[in-house]
Structures are given as C-alpha cells and as structure tokens.
Structure 1
Amino acid sequence: MATRTAAGPRQRLLEAAEELTYSRGMNVGVDAILKRANVARRSLYEHFGGKDGLVTAVLERTTEADERHYRETMDAAGDDPRKRLLAVFDGLEAVIAEPTFRGCRYLSADLALADPDHPAHAVTREYRRRITALLEHELTRLRHRAAGRAAAQLFVLIDGALAAGATRRAEAATGVGEVAELIIDAGL
C-alpha cells in the first residue's frame, strides 16, 4: 500500500506564492500567501528569509518550466530552424488566450520590484538571457547574418506580445508571427 506524504511548509509556500504572485501580482500580501499555504509566518522566515527570498525562489522555480515550454514548442515544430522559431510565435496566441493568462511573470516582477538590487532581478535577467540564447541558436543554425541582434529583437517581440496580451488578450498576438518572419528573413 502506497502512502502519500503531504507537502511540507516549504513546498506549500512555493506553490501558494507561485499561484498568488501570478494571479494577483507580485505585491500580493504575505498574509494571503501564508493563509493559502496554511503555514505560520515563522515558516516563511525559516525557509526563505522573508518575502523577497520567497519571490526569488518562485521565479527560479518557474524559469525551468517556462524554458522547457519554449524548447518543447520548438521541438514539436521539427528540425527546421525557421519553423522552430515561428512555432514560438504561433504558440503565443494559445498562451495568451488561456483564461488564466495574466501576462509575463518576469516582466511583472521587474516592474513591481522597484529595488534594482532585489535578488529576483538577477533571476529575470538570467531567464531572458537563456531564452534569447535559444532563439540565437536557431538563428545561427539558419545562418542569419546578425543572429545575436535578431534574437534580441525576437525576444522584445515576445515580451511585447505577452505584456499586451495581459490587457488585450488574444488579439495582442495577432500578426506577431508576421513581424517575427520579417526579422528572421531580413538576415538570410
């Protein structure tokens, strides 16, 4: 007979903070997180040193899943680098159309956390670097003449679609793939 172990306080805090910082924003109160996680305030400080540490841990945790989503989207498109890149932009419409979509978690964190030395900013910078590197890799495979610059442009396009999608929903991604094609094809 298998027994299930209930998630401990650390895991419950991470799950609650991941959900609430996305659905309500980065400025969600600690009390709401503690209530959702059903833990005492002491657990927050023991495991994360406070809300800043918890928010940073949540972002570290979500970057892995989000980067994996980009890779899976590109892998599903096959081996052709152009198709792999365009699949990312096709996928934006589906992501933005989800009823639970609230924008880009990383952009939201950067805008909400005013302290430039907040440790979460290092996580968001690294996330952006890694996604841009994925794009640059495909552009290099495509023999794009300015792969680094084009990757940065494509990432700005992704960021913009996700930001606009938070307020304008699916129509925000309409045409983004066409702009991506212009960037891709300009360097071939």
Structure 2
Amino acid sequence: MSVRTAPGPRERLLDAAQRLFYSHGVNVGVDSLLKAANVARRSLYEHFGGKDGLVAEVLRRSADEDEEQYRQTMRAAGSDPRARLLAIFDRLAEIVDRPDFRGCRYLAADLALPDPDHPGHAVTRDYRERVHRLLADELVGLGHPRPERAADQLLLLIDGVLASGATRPGTRPAASARELAEHILDGGRPTTN
C-alpha cells in the first residue's frame, strides 16, 4: 500500500507561482504567492533565495514542460519534418483559443523584469534557444537550404501567434502564421498547383 503525501512547501510555491505568474504576471506580490501556496515567508527564502529565484525556477519548470509539448506535438504528427513543423501551428491555434490563454509567459516575463541581469532572462533566452534548435533540426531533416534562418523565421511566427492571440482574440493568428510557415518551409519558393 502506497501512502500519498501532500506536496511540500517548495512544490506548493512552484505550483502557486506558476499559476499566478501566468494569469497575473511575474509582478504578483510575495504575500499573494505565500497565501496561494499556504506557506510561510521563510519557505520562499529557504527554497529559492527570494522571489527572483522563484521566478527563474518557475520559468525553468514551464520551459521544460513547454518544450516537451512541442516534442509531443511533433511526434504525434508523424515522421515527415514538414508535417511536424506545421503541426506546431495547428497546436498553437488550439492553445490561443482557450479561454484562459494569456499569451507567452516568456515574453511577458521579459517585458516585466526591468533588470537585464535578472535570472529569469537567462531562462527565457535558453528556452528560445532550445525551441530554435528543435525547429532547426526539423528543417535540416526537411533539407531546407537555410535551416538556421528559417528557424529564426518560424520562431518569430510562433512569438507573433502568442502575442496576437493574447492581444487580438478571435483573429485566428495561428492560421495566418501557418500559411506563412508553409512559405518558409518551401524555402521561400512559390508552390505550384
């Protein structure tokens, strides 16, 4: 018989912060975080060294989860690199249509953290580099003539979908981005019908 234990203060802080940072931004007050996690202030400092450490750890945790979502989406699309890359935009269409969608957590964090040396910025940069590598690897598999440049372009489209989906709901940015992505995947050459 296994005994289920309740999450400890560290996990409760991470869970609460991940929810609150996404819905309200990283500038949520410490008191609100502590109350939502039902932990003492001491736990924040013991486990994360303060709020900056918590922000960075939440972004790191989210980045791992989001990168895995990209991988799952591509795996589900099969083995064709083109279909795998386009599946990302189909998945983004589902995500931006959710009622609780609030945009890109990484862009929001970068804009909300004025200190360029905040540890959260290193996490967001690393996350974007990881997604870029994921895209570039697929583009190499596709035989794209400029995989690095095309990965830059696809990442720009992804960022645009997430920003537009948050600021202009109902405009179907993922569908528009998917059309542009098809052009990028075709190497910028016009397709023949």
- Counterpart CA distance in 1 for 2:27 and 2:163 is 18
- State the Cα distance separating 1:187 from its structure 2 match: 5.2
Could you tell me how far apart the structure 1 residues matched to 2:45 and 2:39 are? 11
Aligned to 2:173: 172
Structure 1 Cα separation of the partners of residues 169 and 95 of structure 2: 10
1:146–1:187 contact (8 Å) kept in structure 2: no
Measured in 2, the distance between the counterparts of 1:7 and 1:178 equals 44
Structure 1 portions without partners, runs of 5+: none
Any stretches of 5+ residues in structure 2 without a counterpart? none
Q: For residues 48-75 of structure 1, what are the alpha-carbon distances to aligned partners after superposition, in whole Å with 9 as ceiling and x for unaligned?
A: 1110000000011111110000011111
Q: Structure 1 stretches (4+) deviating beyond 4 angstroms?
A: none
What's the CA shift string for 1:106-134, capped at 9, x where partnerless?
A: 11111110110001111100100010111
Aligned runs of 1:18-167 on 2, under 5 Å?
A: 18-167=18-167
The letter for the 2-side match of 1:56 is A
CA contact (8 A) 2:85 2:138 kept: yes
**Offset at residue 149 of structure 1 (A):** 0.3
- State the distance in 2 between where 1:174 and 1:145 align: 25
Are the aligned partners of 1:145 and 1:187 in contact in 2 as well (CA < 8 Å)?
no
Q: Displacement of 1:186 after TM fit?
A: 2.2
Asked if structure 2 preserves the Cα contact closer than 8 Å seen for 1:144 and 1:187, the reply is no
Paired AA for residue 83 in structure 1: A
TM-score, normalising length: structure 1: 0.97
Give the aligned residue type for 1:140. Answer: V
Report the aligned-residue RMSD: 1.1
Task: Give the AA of the match of 1:52.
Answer: D
